[in-house]
Amino acid sequence: MSARPYRIGRARTGLGLFATRPIKKRSRIVEYKGLLLGKKAAAKAECTSNLYLYEINKRWTIDGTPRSNVARYANHSCNPNAETHDVKRRVFIRALRNIKPGEEIVYDYGIDYLRNVIGRSNCQCSRCRKRRNRRAVQLRAKRRRKTARLSKARAAKRRRKKS
């Protein structure tokens, strides 16, 4: 059995973190590691489009850019199976529920990240994809109804012209 309960693998959105064995609810999975940055350094790093910054609080941010930070591969989901847990200046990803082997480990990056970086329309989690698909089906049905109404109106107009 591997020492780590996870592996890095191909996910829908690039690389992801996957469970290699059952992970129990509330257990720590991995630590989000990196350079600890103060407020000014974090603001500067943010300007360079660094997508691996984790803001612990208003004063401290972790720069999770190094590839040795395995936690950076945990993807976003609006329907997560994990969460971040801050302990002093350290951040852990822990299970929200029991996670099965082979299941991708995902957590909610938060509303700011979703709005500013991902955007609702580009979120690839299953909940957002279903919402987009449902909306697309509704729009297609609405267009069909409108087209049908217009066709009926045109046909009625032609009949009136003929008589």
The verdict on 116 and 133 lying in the same domain is no
The verdict on 27 and 55 lying in the same domain is yes
Q: Which residues pair with 92 in a beta bridge?
A: 31, 85
Which three-class secondary structure string do you get for the chain?
A: CCCCCEEEEEECCEEEEEECCCECCCCEEEEECCEEECHHHHHHHHHCCCCCEEECCCCCEEECCCCCCHHHHCEECCCCCEEEEEECCEEEEEECCCECCCCECEECCCHHHHHHHHCHHHCCCHHHHHHHHHHHHHHHHHHHHHHHHHHHHHHHHHHHHHC
- 69 lies in which domain range? 6-122
What is the pLDDT at residue 158? 80
Residue with tokens 């267009």: 143
Please state, as a whole number, how many other Cβ atoms lie within 10 Å of the Cβ of residue 74: 25
Q: What is the pTM of this model?
A: 0.71
User: Is the confidence at residue 14, as pLDDT, over 70?
Assistant: yes
Q: What's the CATH number where 93 sits?
A: 2.170.270.10
Domain count, the chain: 2
Nearest-Å Rg of the Cα atoms of the chain is 23
State the average pLDDT for the chain.
85
Residue 109 domain-assigned?
A: yes
Residue 1 domain-assigned?
A: no
User: What would the pLDDT profile of 28-70 be if each residue is shown by its tens digit?
Assistant: 999 999 999 998 888 887 777 667 888 898 899 999 988 889 9
The verdict on 19 and 96 lying in the same domain is yes
The verdict on 146 and 90 lying in the same domain is no
User: What would the pLDDT profile of 64-93 be if each residue is shown by its tens digit?
Assistant: 988 889 999 999 888 899 999 999 889 999
Judged on CB neighbours under 10 Å (0-12, 13-18, 19+), 65 is: middle
The verdict on 87 and 139 lying in the same domain is no
Report d(CA 81, CA 116) in Å as an integer: 23
